[in-house]
């Protein structure tokens, strides 16, 4: 039997992560970082070119992505290089919620 209260709690626990992923501008930053084979990361200027956003807008979205543990950065001299993190806890929580949702949907057929 499905515990809908648990499902609600699980959805609540991933909702902020979903909001972070749901923004198209942040999606374009994530895709650019995914498509870059250079493991050293990208600077804000490179991301502004790729996304068409202003430097302040890219910096804001990078901050949100960093808070969600999707993006991190390293500093080389006075330059920051942004890259996708290897922290997958939030992604795994979302995957587990979706897996459970699929089970519930299958049961209700």
pLDDT in the model for residue 37: 66
CA distance 33 to 65: 12
Q: What would the pLDDT profile of 52-85 be if each residue is shown by its tens digit? A: 999 999 999 999 999 999 999 999 999 999 999 9
pTM above 0.95, yes or no: no
Task: Please give the distance of CA 88 from its chain centroid, rounded to a whole number.
Answer: 10
Distances (CA, A) of 2 to 10, 58, 74, 106: 13, 42, 44, 12
């Amino acid at each position: 039997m499905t515990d809908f209260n648990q499902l609600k709690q699980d959805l609540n626990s991933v909702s902020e992560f979903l909001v972070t992923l749901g923004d198209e501008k942040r999606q374009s930053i994530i895709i650019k970082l995914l498509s870059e084979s250079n493991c050293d990361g990208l600077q804000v200027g490179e991301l502004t070119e790729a996304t068409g956003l202003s430097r302040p807008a890219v910096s804001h979205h990078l901050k949100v992505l960093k808070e969600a543990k999707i993006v991190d950065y390293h500093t080389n001299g006075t330059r920051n290089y942004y890259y996708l993190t290897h922290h997958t806890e939030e992604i795994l929580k979302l995957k587990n919620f979706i897996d459970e949702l699929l089970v519930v949907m299958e049961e209700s057929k």
